[in-house]
Amino acid sequence: MKRTTLFAIVAAAILAGAAVVFASMRGGGEGGEGGGGTVDLMSPGALPDKALGDANAPVTVVEYASLSCSHCAEFSNSTFSQVKERYIDTGKVRFIFREFPFDGVAMAGSMIARCASDDKYFPIVKAFFEQQASIHSAASPLEWLQNFGKQVGFTEESLNACLSNRELEANLGAVRDRAAEKFNVSSTPTFFINGKIVRGGMTIEEFANEVEPLLKN
């Protein structure tokens, strides 16, 4: 079988399957507070956490995001660089990013980021969010994913291997399902700021309003 054909089969299965899996377990309420507890929240779950900042920072922010979510992209593209400069790089905030793939596009993108080396994870997530609008208008999401994979350093063979990794796909699904079932995450982005749930994207001013009081304690 040609590798291009293999890629099409593998990627199509992910694009078709992830949304179905999520739809089958979706339905958690829109309650104002997350379930579980802070100790449980800080346990990474099925996959190691991807984090930036000092592990001993006074504030820990956990973001659950879907790579296909426009509000997540807006936060990444418009706010996150300011968050990083003002709070993460200065040791005030530890920022943990966890995947919550709503659909196959987000699942495939998350797999690509996870398959890369650790130092490329956040740059790939950033690049995906920056280019997200173009996949929604692309004639072929499969071709878009293939081109994106090559852009961030994958060969056709390594991309096929990545998207064929059923264990990784299942673990990403487990991270999402745990967040929905245990922490009441039902939309993206959802943030936990020292355990407090904040739903929806934030401007830098809104983010500061949540974080600054915690830095004074």
Longest dimension (CA), the chain: 61
Q: What is the per-residue pLDDT across 69-82, written as a single tens digit (0 to 9) for each?
A: 999 999 999 999 99
pLDDT band at 136 (very low <50, low <70, confident <90, very high): confident
Contact yes or no for 86/47 (Cβ under 8 A): no
Average pLDDT over residues 185-202: 97
pLDDT band at 139 (very low <50, low <70, confident <90, very high): confident
| pTM, two decimal places | 0.87
**SS3 per-residue string spanning the chain:** CCHHHHHHHHHHHHHHHHHHHHHHHCCCCCCCCCCCCHHHHCCCCCCCCEEECCCCCCEEEEEEECCCCHHHHHHHHHCHHHHHHHHHCCCCEEEEEEECCCCHHHHHHHHHHHHCCHHHHHHHHHHHHHHHHHHHCCCCHHHHHHHHHHHCCCCHHHHHHHHCCHHHHHHHHHHHHHHHHHHCCCCCCEEEECCEEEECCCCHHHHHHHHHHHHHC
Angular region, 200: left φ>0, alpha ψ -120 to 50, beta rest: left
**Residue 11's closest CA among 192, 177, 135?**
135
Average pLDDT over residues 196-202: 97
Q: Cα 78–162–142 angle (5° rounding)?
A: 65
What is the pLDDT, as a whole number, of residue 15?
61
CA distance readout (Å), 65 to 56, 83, 125, 180: 23, 16, 10, 12
What is the pLDDT, as a whole number, of residue 13?
60
Q: At what angle do helices 166-183 and 3-25 cross, to 10 degrees?
A: 20
Q: What is the per-residue pLDDT across 16-44, written as a single tens digit (0 to 9) for each?
A: 655 444 444 443 333 345 555 677 999 99
Domains with residue ranges and CATH for the chain: 3-216 (3.40.30.10)
Average pLDDT over residues 137-147: 88
Peptide bond into 189 cis (omega under 30): yes
What is the pLDDT, as a whole number, of residue 194?
97
pLDDT band at 3 (very low <50, low <70, confident <90, very high): low
